[in-house]
Structure formats: structure tokens, C-alpha cells
Structure 1
Amino acid sequence: MMKLQISNDQDRKEAQNRERRRQCELERRARIFNARNRKIGVDLPFLQRQIVEKRAERDEAERTNLAFAKQMIKDSDVALVLEAREREERRRICAEIDLFRSKFQRPEDRREFDLNDPDVLKKQLPPRASDGEPVGKSSAQKFEGEDLNYEERRKVMAEQRNAWLEQQVQERKAAETERRQAEAAYMMAIKARDARAGELDKLERECRYRLGQANLRYNEALAAEKKQLEQVMKEQEEADNCAEMYNNLTSDMLTENPDVSKSALGSNRAIGYMYKGMNQEELKKFYAAQKEQMAASKAKREAEDRMEAEWQALAKSISRTSERLDIEDKRRRREIARQLMEENQLMALQQKEKEKYFREVVYNNTPTDDYYAQFNTTTR
């Protein structure tokens, strides 16, 4: 059976110490074998010159940013002035529109004002208090089946029903008595009728003959009278037609008399169905008003065109100024880049000469492989 050794606290402490020493050795090796940290000496005048150049470049950038900030503030001031002018112009136009609406577009002059009238409830009729009030169906105040006097009417109907029942009883008794008397009289009448039948038959035949003769004579007279009446009506219709044509020819409608269209409600009102148009004086006033409106519209359009031209000129000026500043900034940046490239080229040339000096003058003693083999073997 294989025995396994279990580690104790001392073994763990020794393992931790070994790991700590190994980490310290790795950190020391990374620090000592770093060629940049082991380099001896730096070019102090070159570093100072770089510091001076960086400061000059930073000052130039600050001056450029300051110039841009001043120009931006100036442009902002101009934009604020133009915006204030635009707001004032918009306010003036809105005031004119509100004045025009208050004079010529009032709510009470609209066709649908009765739908939006705030006093419409004050003008409405009150709800009905009884069935006797005259209200229309569209008022929604009286509906089919409503009966406000139902209790009173029910009492009257009960009394009337009792009276009707009493009257029906009396009428039924009277009808029964009359029926009996009628039956007796009917029997007597039948007997008399049978006796009278033969006599009436004879009289009827004679009467029919005489009635036919009279009817024939009446029809002949009626036809003659109808023919004469038609002739009279025809002559009357012709006379009425002639009178109507004469009245139409001489009426105010065809002669277009302007006085008939005047209304009794005022001199500036006219009757619509008799109005024949404006007279010469009214036409002159109408054309003059049209010309004034056209002149006002033309002046307004010209003012708007001038305002738009001024806005366009200002926008072009601002655009040209911005383009000029952008061109100057690009030219300055190209000049700075060119100077920086020349300086870098000069520094590269100096670096090459320095390396050549170290390689040919300072480091002319070329070491062997044995010399390099003794380094980087340990940190101690």
C-alpha cells in the first residue's frame, strides 16, 4: 500500500518564501535588463529646445483659439441683432393680423356663430311645465307617451266610464222597447207593402218612361251649355295670355329697373331675387377698391422681396467671412505643418550625424562574442 505524505504548516511557509523570492528575482531582472533605464546621459539642450517649441506652439494655438472666440462672439452679436429684428417684424405682422381679425373676422359675423354662441342657453325656451304649452318635436321637451295630467285625467275618465255604463244600460232598455215596437210596425208595413206593391210597380214603369224623356232633354241642354262655356273660356284664356305678355314686357323685371331692388330695411341693402347688378357709380367704387388692394398687395410683396434680399446679402456676407477665416486657418495650419516637417527633418539629420559620430568615433572598439556572453546571465 502506497503512503502519501501530507504537507504541514512549515512546508507551506517554505513554499511561500520560495515563491516570494522567485517573484522578486523576476522583478529585479525586468528592472535591470531594461536597456532604456541603463542608458547613461541625455541631450539636455535638445530637450530644452523642444520645451521652448512646445510652449510656442501652445501659445500660437491659444492666440488662434482666442481670435476664433472673438469672431464667434461678434457673429453671435450680429445674429442676436438680426433675431431681434425678425422677432419685432413677426410681432408687428401678428399685431396687424389680429387687428384685421378683430375688425373684419369677428365671431358673430360667421355663418356658424349660432353653433358656437356662448349665450345659446340664455336664448333657449324653458322646459315645458304642462302638456298645454306649444312646443315643437325638435325641442326634445315633449315625447310620445308623456302625460303630466295623468292622475286628474284618470279620475275624469273613471267618472266618464261610469256615466257611459249607465247610459248604455238606459240605451239598451230603450233599444229593446224600440225593437219590439219596430217589429210590430214592420209586420204592419209588410202587409201594407204587399198591398202597395202592385200599385207601385205600375207607377214605377210610368215614371221610368217619363224620367228617360226628361233625362234626354236635359243631356241635350247640358251639351249645348258646355259647348258655349268652352267657347267663353277659350276667349277668356286668349285675353288673359295677351294681358300677361303685355305685363311681362312692361314689368320691372324685364326692363331691369334698379329701384325695385331697394330694400325697405335700409339704403345699403337690396332684395336678392330682384337685384340686377351694380350701377356705374358702384362699379367705379368697386374697381377703385380693387386697385387700392392690388397696390397694397404689390407694396407688401416688394417689402417682402427687399427683406428677403437683405437676408440673402447678410447670409452671403457671413458665409464669405467664414470661408475667408477657414482659408486663413488652413493656410496657417499648413505653414505650421511645413515648419514642423522641416524641424523634424533637421532633427533626423542631426540624429543621423550623432549616430554616425558614436559609431565611427566613440564606439570604434568592436567587442567580441565572449564580451557579450558574460552579460545578462544573472542579476547578482
Structure 2
Amino acid sequence: MIIIGAGLGGLALAHGLRKQGIDVAVYERDAHPGARPQGYRIQLDEPGLTGLRECLPAALFELCLSTAGAPPARVSVRNRRLDVLADKAAAHSSAAADVSGPRAFNRPTLRQIMLLGLDGQVHYGARLVGYGHDADGRVTARFADGRTATADLLIGADGVNSAVRGLLLPGARVEDAGLRLVYGRIPLDGSTRAQLPSWVFESIFTVVTGGPGQPHLGLGPVEFGRRPEEAGRALTPPVDLSPVGDYVACLVGAPADHPAMPPFAELRTLAPAALRDLALRWTGEGWHEDVHGLLAHWDTDSLFPLRISTAAPVPHWQPGPVTLIGDAIHAMSPVLAMGANTAVRDAGELTRALAEAAGRGEPFVRAVGRYENRMREYASRIVADSRQTGQQRVGQR
């Protein structure tokens, strides 16, 4: 099997296939794992934790859990004066995942763990430029540097700007959701935690909204169950995980048509200090003093901009030796924290379908068809729910 993309979904799938005795190679366009910022906090609950457990070796799954934080399993929405608009329980994990509630992961740590055990299977600097169907039913991928790879199945796990989707489903559209974010961290070092308002730590995620069509603030604490570097050393054999301190993921977002919003091409060129100044303009007068206090603790060097996208519905397509998982097929607004959950769920669903086909001696294409039918069913609902919630809370288009 060939997987295009070494993000969370692609790596989960690689482990899942290896557990089933299926040969796999992962091709990633980035030159190395840290080639570009990919965010900080990731929330996994149901069904992401179940998919993660299905795919990962038991030792790696336990290592992931040991480094995750477990904030109160509630999601809160407040207005700019911090009046509570909504406060509800976050999704519960299933008994199969053997976890008591949703977890907050540090995304770079999670990805670093998921790369363990895949030595020689992940190939960097490999930008897909095309693929062809061979006479024997297999598929050959072609890369910009001249490399080729042939397998029974090619899976696009290459994100919102998926090259595989562009080739397989050229009519599939990923739409601009009309939101721009400045994303960063508030380090919880020294006395900082004591200086932050207690309500920040009372939910796994909090949205402070200025109202439809207005800026918003998002906050998610990441307090490690065990520091990654310590958890890695305790493993047998020990592994090196990069040291990371506790933090609060902090984003400020605004609609693309906000008067103080530059075009995204310009936003991408701004230095972190300029991004900070811009976000402070969005959350000026009328916002509670707690918000201003929180942003005073923002780590300026951690800031980078994001444009939010969402997938348009895709007409049914015929299954074949090429398929898609994660944002490559169902990009969604982050307001429900279901993007990573759904990508890892896809990895588990596809692994299970392929393992069943192998056990029955069926062609893999039949398994792909079953997976795609199932994935379309659950993912289309989540994309629609994310769009609706984003429209209600933060002015998504």
C-alpha cells in the first residue's frame, strides 16, 4: 500500500496496516517532519481515540495517552463579557478505547510518537505529481523528483490541498470558510498559570465569541499527564521525545471580511509581532479584561496564521485502487474539534475493511468501496454540523 501524506491520519493508517501484516510505504512532500508549523493542541475523543487504539501498537497507544492532558470534559461558549452562553459535556470516549474522557494532545508530540516504528517506511521530499493504473490493476505513483512507487492501493492522506484528490476527483471543491486565525500558545511556566483566570481550565475548550460576524477567541489547556521526555525515557526500550512544557493553546479569529483583516496572502507574510498586533485590534474595546490579560501572556514567537476551509459535498464516485482519508476528502471547520478525530477514524475504518478483505481473499477494491460508503455517511454529517455550528458561533460562511 502507498500512503500519500505523513500527517496524523496517514501515520495512523500506516500503523494499522502494518499490524495487519500489510506492507506499506508513506510518501510525504515536506523535507522533514518539522518543515512547517502544523499547530499545537489536538483534541481526541470519540471516535478518534478508538481509531488510534485500533491502529497503533499497544505500547505506542499507551505512550500517547500518558503524555496527553485530561482537562474537564466540557466545552464552553462565552460572550465577550464572559457570560456563559453554552456549557455542555464533551463527547465521551467508548469503552473500546478504555479511556475515561476526551484528551488534549500536543500535536507535535503525538506525531513524533506515531513516527516511531516506521523507520524506512516514511519517505520525505516526495511531492506527488501523478499516478497511473497498471494493466494488472495496480497503481503507480509518480513524484516530482522522478521517483515512482507501485502498489495495490494508493491512499491520499495529504490534507486540505490534497494532490491525490485533485487527480482522483478534479470536480471536488474545498471552499474558503471565510475565517482567518492567528494561532499560538500561552506557556504555563513559572507563575503564569496562577495569573490566568480559573475559567480557562474548567473546560477542555472554551470559545469566547464577539457574536456572528465578529472576532472570537479560542482557548484549550494542554497540561501533560506526564512530560513527553519523561514518558519516552520510561518506555522499554526508551525513546527520545522532544521536551515540551504545559501551555494553553490560544487562537484569535475573525471573518475574512472584517475591516481590520488583510488579504490572506498578506497575512501569511506578517511577522509574529505584526500578527499579535492585528489580533489585539480584533479584540479591543468591549472585551472583558480577562481576555486582554490572557493575550498579554501570548508567546509572540509561537504565532502563525491559518485560513479555515470546508469541503463541499462530493457526488458518489466509483471505488478503485485510489482512495482518500481525512482532510483530503472531508475538510471541516475546527469548531467541533472533529477534524483529527474523523481522520483517525477513517484510518481505523479503512484498516478494518482491508483486513477483512484480505481474510476473505477478496479484491481490495471491494474493501475500498465499503470504506468509502461508510466514510461518506458519517463524514458528511460531521462536515455539515461543523459548518452550521461555525456559522452560529463564529461567523463561518
- TM-score band w.r.t. shorter chain: under 0.3
From the CA coordinates, give the structure whose radius of gyration is larger: 1
Q: TM-score, normalised by structure 2?
A: 0.14
More helix per residue: 1
* Structure showing greater relative contact order (alpha-carbon pairs closer than 8 Å, 6 or more residues apart): 2
